[in-house]
Amino acid sequence: MFTAIQKYFQKNTQAAPLAVFRVLFGFMMFLGIVRFWANGWIEKLYIQPKFFFSYYGFEWVKPIGNYTYIIFAICGIAALFVALGYKYRVAIIVFYLSFTYIELMDKTTYLNHYYFISCVAFLMIFLPANVYFSVDAYKNPRKAFQMVPKWTIDSIKLILGIVYFYAGLAKLNSDWLFNAMPLKIWLPSKYDLPFLGDLMQQPWVHYTFSWSGALYDLAIPFLLLYRRTRWFAFALVIIFHVMTRVLFPIGMFPYIMIVSTLIFFDTGFHRKVIRFISKLLRIDYSKMVALSQTKKYRFKRNIALPILAVFFVIQLLFPWRYLAYPNELFWTEEGYRFSWRVMLMEKAGYAQFKIKNTETGEQFLVDNTDFLTPFQEKQMSTQPDFILEYAHFLGEHFEAQGHENVAVYAESYVALNGRLSQPYVNPNVDLMKQRESFRRKNWILPFNDTIKGL
């Protein structure tokens, strides 16, 4: 057993798939940043709001006014350098840090897809993705190699497999499978799609989408791994992600996933891709290849493997942390994020905050639009950690204004997956007295229903 493992880590393979992955990933990230910028979202999401929601422990990560544009510029340039394979190690570290910083600035914009990109970028710091078909390799033939350890490519397959498989596991619940929720809410509103608009109204379509979505997520990593099913699987990947692109506002992610799954294809395919890119950019392909030594790339210090081993153990275990909380996950969202729960539920909410002077009993309600953007208010009203952080912000804001003995109460309602709205947080609990922590939030009112499954 041990020797088998040792043997596996000795195995080498062609570097081409890793190089193609680097080029496409860097290029997609660059496009993603340009798109974000062009949509005016930097201004809208990171400069205009007066208040930003922080992740627990990362309260120090904030937008820096107009300089926030510089972070995006750095991130975009780093992505381009990654694509070119120019000063790769520095570029990928800078990309990872700047991209992660951007995502940590305001959790209102949390998307699993952004987390996915941070994970892949972290992984890529430790991979020799620049030894082939890169500026680094071109400029310094001693850094050019044709072979890399097999596990480096497999590690990317593994992270992709985890994303899909866990997203599939998360769908194994009664709302998704037996009530076709939330697709029953989402799909009918796509009435204006050409050809598909009418179909989107049909319950059998909602169930078909629910079940096939779950099956797709669970099966696709395995279908991609086996040579015989690979092309079929790739066709499924395209159909699935094109559908999600058409139906849901998830931006670049479908394209990133389609491109990422190319890593499963063998070297011959990637050579063709490299030849194609070379032709497009008029690079002398044969010269590029001739430069690479037939030698194998070797890791100088042996830190990459242990770090990545820890990384993957965390990846495998972290999504299960919700089991440590007693209440319904979808209702309390304790342990919901960073677990590949993608497009999984529909929540709408309303939260009204009351500032009370505990001595005199004087009280008044807060107009949320004074402090939050519509998008922030929407996200805040359904997620307890947002409600708590905002309550503290309000309390401190009004204390600074000279109010005394400030207590903050929230009257809130949430509707989950088409159920009728019901009270969400305990309106009699002074939220100023509650602290954010990993402990369960006992001020969230009970869900009064059960969702069975994982």
Partner 1 sequence: MKFLKFGIFLALVAANITACSSDSDGPEETDDAFDRGAMLANWADNIIVPAYTSFNSKVVEMEAATSSFTATPTVENLQALRAVWKEAYVSFQNVSMFEIGKAEEVRFRNRLNVYPTNVSQIEDFIATGNYDFALPSTIDKQGFPALDYMLNGLAETDAEIVVFYTSNPNAESYKTYLTTLSQTIKGLSNEVLSSWTGGYRDAFVANTSSSASGAVDKLTNDYIFYFEKALRAGKVGIPAGIFSNGTLPQNVEAFYKKDISKELLLEAINASVNFFNGKNFNGNSNGASFKTYLDYLNTIKNGENLSALINNQFTVAKNKANELNANFVEQIETDNSKMLATYDELQRIVVLLKVDMIQALDVTIDYVDADGD
Residue 195 phi, psi dihedral angles, 5° rounding: 70, -45
- Looking at beta carbons only, is 235 or 323 nearer to partner 1? 235
Tell me how far apart the alpha carbons of residues 247 and 191 are, in angstroms, rounded to a whole number.
Answer: 10
Residues 196 to 215: which contact partner 1 by CB under 8 A? 197-198, 200-201, 203, 206
Interstrand relation of 293-296 and 347-357 (parallel, antiparallel or unpaired): unpaired
Tell me how far apart the alpha carbons of residues 325 and 437 are, in angstroms, rounded to a whole number.
Answer: 13
**Per-residue binding letters, 411-450, with partner 1 (x by CB under 8 A):** --xxx--xxxx-----------------------------
- Asked if 34 is part of the footprint of partner 1 (rule: CB under 8 A), the reply reads no
Binder to partner 1 among 43, 59, 362, 396 (CB under 8 A)? 362
- Asked if 344 is part of the footprint of partner 1 (rule: CB under 8 A), the reply reads yes
DSSP state of 375: H
**Cβ contact 395:409 at 8 Å:** no
**Whose structure tokens read 């796509």?**
190
Instruction: Name all contacts of 207-214 with Cβ < 8 Å and 24+ positions apart.
Output: 207/180, 209/180, 209/183, 210/171, 210/176, 210/177, 210/180, 210/183, 211/177, 213/171, 213/183, 213/240, 214/168, 214/171, 214/172, 214/176, 214/177
Q: Segment near partner 1 (CB under 8 A), from 8-16, 215-223, 293-301, 344-352?
A: 344-352
Smallest distance, partner 1 to C-beta of residue 403, A: 9
If one counts every other C-beta atom within 10 angstroms of the C-beta of residue 382, the result is: 23
Smallest distance, partner 1 to C-beta of residue 333, A: 9
Instruction: Identify the CA nearest to 407 among candidates 342, 355, 447, 337.
Output: 355
Smallest distance, partner 1 to C-beta of residue 251, A: 4
- Asked if 188 is part of the footprint of partner 1 (rule: CB under 8 A), the reply reads yes
Tell me how far apart the alpha carbons of residues 319 and 169 are, in angstroms, rounded to a whole number.
Answer: 11
- Looking at beta carbons only, is 297 or 393 nearer to partner 1? 393
- Looking at beta carbons only, is 141 or 446 nearer to partner 1? 446
Q: Segment near partner 1 (CB under 8 A), from 141-149, 320-328, 337-345, 444-452?
A: 337-345
Q: Is 123 exposed, middle or buried (0-12, 13-18, 19+ CB in 10 A)?
A: buried
Size of the site for partner 1 (CB under 8 A): 68
- Asked if 239 is part of the footprint of partner 1 (rule: CB under 8 A), the reply reads yes
Applying CB under 8 A, the residues found at the interface with partner 1 are 39, 41, 44-45, 109, 111-113, 182, 184-186, 188-194, 197-198, 200-201, 203, 206, 231, 235, 238-239, 242, 245-246, 248-251, 253, 336, 341-350, 352, 357, 362-367, 369, 373-375, 378, 413-415, 418-421
